[in-house]
A = this chain, B = another copy of it.
Amino acid sequence: MQFEILKKDPKSGARLGQVITSHGAFRTPAFIPVGTQATVKAMTPEELRGMGAEIILSNTYHLYLRPGHELIRRMGGLHRFMHWNYPLLTDSGGFQVFSLNSLAKVTGEGAHFQSHLDGSRHFLSPEKAIAIQQALGADIIMCLDECTAYPASHEEAARSLELTLDWARRCKESHGSQDQALFGIVQGGMHSDLRRRAAETLAAIGFDGYAIGGLSVGESKEAMFQIVADTAPLLPQDRPRYLMGVGLPGDILEAVRHGVDMFDCVLPTRNARNGTLFTRSGKIVIKKAQYAEDPLPIEPGCPCYACRHYSRAYLRHLYQAEEILALRLNTIHNLHFYLQFMNDMRKAIAEDRFEAFGQEFHARWVSGDEPSSEGRESFPAHPVLRNRISNNSSENLCRSSRRNVKNQQGGKFDVQ
């Protein structure tokens, strides 16, 4: 994997670049749509490419449990299995192990957990996380880390961080493949000194890229951005930086300003399936009665397929009627919005007007109830019914939402 920085914004930490993998390049700052179970919900790979997706993410935890990483290896690897012949990233599975299992038991060796599908017992170690990700064959893979609970005292966060750093070393050691880039993950809770220790230790071990984990777990936005602002500059300049599970467009903008290059989040896709649609002025809830006879597209002037051909009235009808096409059109629009936003941001950096771009964005955007309510409204009240296709289950939530699940449901499965 190569990372090229094409331009640095003179007035902020923002960087324009590209990452070259064995399945092609993606431009940074990059937004990574989430395809938890080897599919970005409701989308085909062609549609994703058509709206500008250059890299997508799949979740190791889910694929390990179903259909199994060895099966995917035998089918030619994840790219081939899911018909996505472009850059692909997998996480380590650790986040799901911890967030979906109130009974997950962590030892120095690894984590014991139960499947959210059938309760079967499993063990995930750093070595196994790497082996599973090697079987899947993504271009970028992640170290197993322990997600520090929030809030965590300095002592707790420090103890947790030492485990994460030990696991990072073991991941690096067990990882031999040249085809797969391995990223380390910075933990340390809300403690800047621990974040610094993590960044320096991981840089000394040496990874192909560095992620900032353990954020958007319930802390304030100010606290989150403080950690990002403190941590990002400590990470090696010549490697991509990845802020996991964040976030709203404004959050991404702020993190880019501090020098972050990669983002993933389920907000655009999950919101789409809940009928919440992104526009340049903020979010709209399509089921509202005010759209019942609205002949306008979601966002006038938007060139996405949904906006070119369908009225808000029709989209509201589809949503109210619980039609599958509602999920498709809403997802197309929201992903298009995010990917267009990243494209515009890259263009702004290239043209030395990143700051003005940010000001224009904030001037237009009107915040609603966000972001912690995002996840909650979407959760089905009942376990997934067989013979019904799930709307919301089995896709990662952004960190904040995930935490809400855990709080509300006692760590039970149902949703991921």
Contacts and interface: CB of A to CB of B under 8 A. Distances in A.
Given A389-B326, A391-B388, A39 B318 contact: yes
B387 A274 contact: yes
A140 B7 CA distance: 60
B325 A39 contact: yes
A314 B75 contact: yes
A390 B387 CA distance: 10
Contact of A323 (B76, B313, B323, B389): B389
A363 interface: no
A333 interface: no
A37 B321 contact: yes
Given A380-B385, A385-B381, A388-B380, A324 B41 contact: yes
Instruction: Give the most central of A39, A318, A388: most B CB within 10 Å.
Output: A388
Contacts of A323: 37, 39, 41, 389-390, 394
Given A37-B321, A71-B292, A83 B313 contact: no
Nearest to A379: B387
Contacts of A111: none
A387 B394 contact: no
A74 interface: yes
Contacts of A41: 323-325
Instruction: Give the most central of A67, A81, A394: most B CB within 10 Å.
Output: A67
Interface string A371-383: 0000001101110
Contact of A66 (B39, B42, B317, B392): B317
A4 interface: no
Given A66-B317, A387-B378, A324 B324 contact: yes
A327 interface: yes
B71 A324 contact: no
Given A320-B66, A377-B387, A385-B382, A75 B38 contact: no
Nearest to A332: B44
A322 B388 contact: yes
Contacts of A350: none
B71 A313 contact: yes
A360 interface: no
B293 A75 contact: yes
Given A71-B293, A324-B41, A389 B389 contact: yes
A288 interface: no
Contacts of A384: 322
A105 B62 CA distance: 52
Contacts of A39: 318, 323-325
Contacts of A322: 384, 388-390, 393-394
A295 interface: yes
Interface of A: 37-39, 41-44, 62, 66-67, 71, 74-76, 81-83, 273-274, 292-293, 295, 305, 309-311, 313-314, 316-318, 320-328, 377-378, 380-382, 384-385, 387-394
The 9 residue pairs across chains A and B that have the minimum distance between CB atoms: A42-B324, A322-B390, A67-B317, A37-B321, A83-B309, A39-B325, A388-B391, A322-B389, A39-B323
23 contacts: A37-B317, A37-B323, A38-B317, A39-B324, A43-B325, A71-B292, A71-B293, A74-B293, A76-B295, A81-B311, A81-B314, A81-B317, A83-B309, A83-B314, A322-B389, A322-B390, A323-B390, A323-B394, A324-B324, A324-B328, A327-B389, A378-B387, A389-B389
Given A39-B323, A380-B385, 19 more contacts: A39-B325, A42-B324, A66-B317, A71-B313, A75-B293, A75-B311, A81-B313, A83-B309, A83-B314, A322-B393, A322-B394, A323-B394, A324-B328, A328-B328, A380-B388, A387-B391, A387-B392, A388-B391, A389-B389
